[in-house]
């Protein structure tokens, strides 16, 4: 396995032949009934046990099919420190199954504070002495505070062969309001950001031609995708927004370069496929079969664009 995160991810995408990231967003309310019945939603221990079982079974289902999963920290932080313990523990499980793991934490802060975040969230030293806990292979970071605030994260990523995904253009409906605003030089704010992040990404490019400093670009952002890709030729694009947020495979086309360099992320449309009429009718209570089929359908959808 190559050392640099960017190379490892490009390799894993190729070996699974699936540029797919499954988002681990454990939302108890949406779980299959077999994992919620008889559980009091106010009983945190019981809810966390259920989150553990649900997530483990999702990971087992998707591990043979996809290269990478993305854990959404918020759904664990909701359960305070017990949730955070589950986060690190389930990341260790995912890594043991051969999956690459992105921690979707969207942190960002000034120098010494950013360094503390990087240590806790990216540096294995934090978990080395703890059984059944691991830090992710990469984390998402928020660059709003300035490029200087990214440096401590880049430093730890470089020292530990890990990666970052810097928010450049997000997938939410209101994302354009602050990110697509036009600067006096004609670029949008995100385009300016993309050019600056590219300078940082160029410092950590591996043999695949891609950097360990990737970027988050909403799969929903077709209008600006090409422009951002041109400005960030060496960053792996992590593209959230597929499925539940409305993006299609076709919308991600210009994020790919020679059929690689991007990974499309879907969370709710895969994890809760059992609630989708399309799958419910066919699979009934077999929710894991629905998860698997949703991944296979997404793969087929992306294949059409990449073939």
Least distance to its own copies, CB of residue 119, Å: 5
For the segment 25-64, give every residue that binds its own copies (CB under 8 A): 25, 27, 42, 44
Among the residue ranges 7-15, 157-165, 173-181, 276-284, the one whose residues contact its own copies (CB under 8 A): 173-181
User: Residue 26 CB, nearest distance to its own copies (Å)?
Assistant: 10
Which CB, 18 or 114, lies closer to its own copies?
Answer: 114
5 or 79: CB nearest its own copies: 79
CA distance 273 to 32: 10
Q: Which of 84, 92, 205, 289 binds its own copies (CB under 8 A)?
A: 84
Rounded to the nearest whole angstrom, what is the least distance from the CB of residue 124 to its own copies in the complex? 12
Check binding of 160 to its own copies (CB under 8 A): no
Task: Give strand pairing partners of 238.
Answer: 216, 263
* CA separation for the pair 294, 205 (Å, rounded): 33
- What is d(CA 56, CA 54) in angstroms, rounded to the nearest whole number? 6
Residue 40: CB minimum distance to its own copies, A? 12
**How far does CA 129 lie from the centroid of its chain?**
26
Distance between CA 296 and CA 303 in Å, rounded?
10
Q: Identify which range of 7-15, 32-40, 92-100, 119-127 contacts its own copies by CB under 8 A.
A: 119-127
Residue (19 or 23) nearer to its own copies, CB: 23
Q: 142 or 257, CB closer to its own copies?
A: 142
- Which C-beta is closer to its own copies: that of 141 or that of 305? 141
Contact between 155 and its own copies by CB under 8 A: the answer reads no
289 touches its own copies (CB under 8 A): no
Query: 139 φ, ψ to 5°?
Result: -130, 160
For 144, phi then psi, to 5°, come to -50, -35
Contact letters for its own copies, residues 88-117 (x by CB under 8 A): x-----------------xxxxxxxxx-xx
Closest to its own copies by CB, 29 or 38: 29
Q: What is the DSSP string of 97-147?
A: TT-EEEEEEEE---HHHHHHHHHHHH-GGGTTTSTT----SEEEE--TT-G
Number of neighbours of residue 207 by Cβ within 10 angstroms: 12
CB pairs under 8 A, 24+ apart, for 29-36?
30/268, 30/271, 30/272, 30/275, 32/274, 32/285, 32/287, 33/285, 34/285, 34/287
Q: Which of 106, 277, 278, 292 is catalytic?
A: 106
- Rounded to 5 degrees, what are φ and ψ at 106? 45, 40
- Catalytic site residue 234? no
CB of 291 to its own copies, least distance (A): 19
| Alpha carbon distance, N-terminus to C-terminus of the chain | 26
Q: What are the residues binding its own copies (CB under 8 A)?
A: 25, 27, 42, 44, 72, 74-75, 77-85, 88, 106-114, 116-117, 119-121, 126-127, 129-130, 133, 142-149, 167, 170-179, 181-184, 186, 189, 192-193, 196
Which residues have a catalytic role annotated?
A: 106
């Amino acid at each position: 396995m190559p050392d640099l995160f960017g190379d490892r991810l490009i390799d894993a995408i190729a070996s699974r032949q699936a540029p797919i990231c499954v988002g681990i967003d454990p939302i108890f309310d949406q779980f299959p009934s077999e994992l919620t019945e008889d559980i009091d939603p106010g009983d945190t221990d019981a809810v966390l046990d259920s989150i553990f079982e649900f997530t483990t079974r999702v990971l087992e289902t998707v591990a043979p099919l996809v290269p990478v999963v993305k854990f959404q920290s918020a759904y664990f932080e909701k359960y305070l420190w017990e949730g955070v313990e589950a986060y690190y523990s389930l990341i260790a499980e995912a890594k043991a199954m051969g999956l690459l793991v992105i921690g979707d934490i969207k942190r960002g802060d000034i120098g010494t504070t950013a360094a503390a975040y990087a240590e806790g969230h990216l540096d294995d030293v934090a978990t080395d002495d703890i059984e059944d806990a691991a830090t992710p292979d990469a984390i998402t970071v928020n660059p709003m505070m300035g490029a200087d605030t990214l440096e401590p994260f880049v430093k730890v990523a470089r020292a530990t062969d890990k990666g970052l995904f810097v928010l450049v253009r997000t997938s939410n409906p209101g994302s354009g309001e602050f990110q697509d605003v036009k600067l006096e030089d004609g670029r949008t704010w995100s385009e300016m950001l993309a050019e600056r992040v590219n300078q940082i990404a160029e410092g950590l490019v591996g043999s695949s031609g891609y950097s360990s400093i990737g970027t988050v670009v909403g799969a929903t952002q077709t209008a600006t995708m090409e422009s951002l890709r041109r400005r960030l030729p060496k960053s792996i694009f992590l593209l959230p927004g597929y499925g539940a947020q409305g993006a299609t495979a076709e919308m991600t086309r210009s994020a790919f370069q020679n059929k690689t360099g991007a990974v499309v992320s879907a969370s709710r449309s895969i994890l809760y496929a059992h609630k989708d009429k399309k799958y419910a009718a066919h699979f009934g209570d077999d929710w894991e079969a629905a998860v698997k089929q949703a991944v296979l359908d997404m793969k087929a959808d992306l294949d059409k664009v990449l073939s």
